[in-house]
Structure 1
Amino acid sequence: MHAEFAAKLRLTAAVLGNATHKGLCARFRAVNPNTPCDIDRLHKWIQGRALPRSPQLYEDWAKVLGTHRPGTWLATCSMNEFRDEIALLFGASLEDMHRTETPRARSEAVNGTPSDPGGLRTLYGTFACYSLAWSPHYAGQLIRGALRLEPGKGSTLRATYTEALFGGPVQMIGDVVLSGGTLHMLLRNPDTGLPASMILIMPGPPASVLCGILSSQAFVAHHALPSASRMLVVRVPSAARLDTSNRYLDFSPSCVSDDLDGLGLKLDAPGPLNALVAAFLGRGIDQVSPIDQASFSSALDPLYFLPAAGKAALRIDPAPPEPG
């Protein structure tokens, strides 16, 4: 029982990209500041010398992994069942998971020294990004951007996303948060502070492609337009060519495969990929306009300008007083 629990913790650290005990403890503290997990206890658990006494540890563990399984399941499941759950959540292969059980990996985990950070390291690299343009001036076109995923501070992963707008680059930077088999990035432009959110599915090795959602506001528009669209993120070998070729693309049947070819990713038979691109990106964008806002305001604003009796009926309560 002790040995299986220790192996589950080592696998948890590997798929989360936490190379040290300190990094894994930080994950537990992020979901519960009062977690029973601390450096000393974790060291004993990973050595197989003790088991947690508090059931809360297992509940925190479930949140760290992003699983819908209860903490009691994590405490009692077999190692094979745990591996199946990890594969479902993070797309990790059986081969990758077995690497955590090599003598070297066990030694590094027990001694608290850096080990292979697992899934996150497979994400390091440069990626071409394809999504539908949000600007009404470029309706129906694709915008080709670039994403860099690099080691950040400690065990974090750093994301840099760029697009070409108004003839110049627009850059957005942020950390990557791994949760429940998805990568979450809250990106900000360092000059304006404008945020964007990117959520991608965590792939298995070799992380050749990631699919997800990009959301922010349309940059090139007469009004603020909250927008979201699907995004296709493809690993490419040529970082230099990627940096200088961000642009709008006509959404033709072969636009993505042609662009990838120019970036050094040669496809012998691009037809199947072209069909996937058309089906995946061709569903349109989700966008909210001022007209939508005005329509709902016209319907609901009058309720807040009723006589006093009407307001009471609506139960518009004042804000609670400040404590103290």
Structure 2
Amino acid sequence: MRTQKSHRLFSDKLLMATEALGCRTLAELVGRVRTMDASTPITLDRAYKWAQGRATPRDGKAYHDLAQLLDLGEDGAFVRSCSLEHFKERLSRRYPRWRADDGAGRLSSVARPDPAVAAWPTLTTERYATYSLSWAAGRGGQVVRGSSRIATAPGFTRPRIDYVEDTAEGRLTFAGDLRISRNLLMVNFDAAEADVLLSMVLLVSSTPSPAFGGLVIGQSIQPGEARPVCGRLLMVAMDDTVTDPERRNGYHEVGSGSLADDLAGIGYGEADCDAVARSIVGYLKSPSRSDGHLSIAPQAIDEIALPLALSVARPTTRIF
């Protein structure tokens, strides 16, 4: 009970701080902290968990960084341990235009999800541009862009995912049921082509995010042989107004600008698309860990998701 109370206390403080600073979204708050200190432990995914009252920061630097951003003349220990009333009073004094009586009101209904669906990773849209490195012979190093569509059934029971990829050998189409394991989504696709197998394991934030990623496992057909292959995958939510989500499917030369153009075309024109495209390529090409395992840390995706989230920031009725 005490733990739940402390989680809710920090949640209220975080939401009040977000509003007092004039941030329309939690993404904007995280962006401001990271501009101040790129090494901050405050990430997009963690901020949503804290705002939802599901956890509190484990690293004391998070409190310190928030205190510095707020410029209240107090240290991180104050942010961590003061009462909500004292915190509200100090915010009202420092930011007189902020209406303290409204604190944690406008954001809280969005940041704290319905418990009935909170167990499911959050999918912000139905359609996603899907990026991975090409497995085709002679296409090494190129980014292959496919399209995914996720349809959620009533009650979030067993969503369905369709994936389309245009390769050197022609179009490949896949479909399968998504299964959840904690914050991982897994799918073993049924392919239209009988001899092509594909699976995905996706690390999806439990809070709204414009991007998520994971691993794609399948087979690479080389001249005279088939090889098992595992690589990184990134899925980026498309704007609802994109008329043809498959138009840019195919191969993208790294450094040509076509990947940046694709990001702008699916709804992120206000972001630094060249920088985000470089981040995507760096993420896809990241090597395995020293122990030989190929894995993905949430922070690696957060570095891509944050600038995209900031570029499509809406009023607080819809937080990315």
Does the 8 A contact of 1:131 with 1:232 survive in 2? yes
The answer on 1:277 being equivalent to 2:291 is no
Residue number in structure 2 paired with 1:157: 159
Residue number in structure 2 paired with 1:242: 245
The answer on 1:171 being equivalent to 2:162 is no
More helix per residue: 1
1:283: Cα distance to partner?
3.1
Does the 8 A contact of 1:130 with 1:143 survive in 2? yes
The answer on 1:194 being equivalent to 2:208 is no
1:259: Cα distance to partner?
1.3
1:272: Cα distance to partner?
3.6
1:83: Cα distance to partner?
2.8
Post-superposition CA distance 1:127-168 (Å, at most 9, x none): 001111011221121111111111248721101111012464
What amino acid is aligned across from residue 84 of structure 1 in structure 2?
A
User: Where in structure 2 are the equivalents of 1:14-33 lying within 5 Å?
Assistant: none
**Percentage of identical aligned residues:** 21
Which deviates more, 272-281 or 183-192?
272-281
Q: Would the alpha carbon gap of residues 175 and 94 (structure 1) be closer, same or farther in structure 2, given more than 3 Å must change? A: farther
Does the 8 A contact of 1:185 with 1:198 survive in 2? yes
Give TM-score scaled by structure 1 length: 0.50
Residue number in structure 1 paired with 2:259: 256
What amino acid is aligned across from residue 134 of structure 2 in structure 1?
A
1:97: Cα distance to partner?
7.5
What are the ranges of 5 or more consecutive residues in structure 2 without an aligned counterpart? 5-50, 57-106, 289-320
Post-superposition CA distance 1:210-243 (Å, at most 9, x none): 1111110014654201111111110112554222
Does the 8 A contact of 1:129 with 1:147 survive in 2? yes
What is the alpha-carbon distance in structure 2 between the residues aligned to residue 220 and residue 82 of structure 1? 50
1:230 alignment partner, SS class: strand
Post-superposition CA distance 1:160-217 (Å, at most 9, x none): 1110124642111111111121111111203416321111111244331011111100
Does the 8 A contact of 1:152 with 1:175 survive in 2? no
What amino acid is aligned across from residue 216 of structure 2 in structure 1?
L
1:138 alignment partner, SS class: coil
The answer on 1:83 being equivalent to 2:54 is yes
User: Where in structure 2 are the equivalents of 1:221-240 lying within 5 Å?
Assistant: 221-237=223-239, 238-240=241-243
Does the 8 A contact of 1:143 with 1:247 survive in 2? yes
What is the alpha-carbon distance in structure 2 between the residues aligned to residue 179 and residue 117 of structure 1? 14
User: Where in structure 2 are the equivalents of 1:45-194 lying within 5 Å?
Assistant: 83-84=54-55, 98-100=112-114, 119=120, 122-152=123-153, 155-166=157-168, 168-192=170-194, 194=196
1:162 alignment partner, SS class: strand
What is the alpha-carbon distance in structure 1 between the residues aligned to residue 202 and residue 159 of structure 2? 14
Residue number in structure 2 paired with 1:212: 214
Post-superposition CA distance 1:114-138 (Å, at most 9, x none): x657745634410001111011221
Q: Would the alpha carbon gap of residues 168 and 282 (structure 1) be closer, same or farther in structure 2, given more than 3 Å must change? A: same
What amino acid is aligned across from residue 228 of structure 1 in structure 2?
C
Does the 8 A contact of 1:132 with 1:142 survive in 2? yes
1:250: Cα distance to partner?
0.6
Q: Would the alpha carbon gap of residues 94 and 188 (structure 1) be closer, same or farther in structure 2, given more than 3 Å must change? A: farther
What is the alpha-carbon distance in structure 2 between the residues aligned to residue 183 and residue 162 of structure 1? 18
Residue number in structure 2 paired with 1:267: 270
Residue number in structure 1 paired with 2:87: none
Which deviates more, 200-209 or 138-147?
200-209
Residue number in structure 1 paired with 2:48: none
Post-superposition CA distance 1:58-110 (Å, at most 9, x none): xxxxxxxxxxxxxxxxxxxxxx999339xxxxxxx986674437xxxxxxxxx
Q: Would the alpha carbon gap of residues 187 and 142 (structure 1) be closer, same or farther in structure 2, given more than 3 Å must change? A: same
Matched residue count: 189
Using CA pairs below 8 Å that are at least 6 residues apart, which structure has the higher relative contact order?
A: 2
What amino acid is aligned across from residue 250 of structure 2 in structure 1?
R
Does the 8 A contact of 1:144 with 1:163 survive in 2? yes
What are the ranges of 5 or more consecutive residues in structure 1 without an aligned counterpart? 5-79, 86-92, 102-114, 286-324
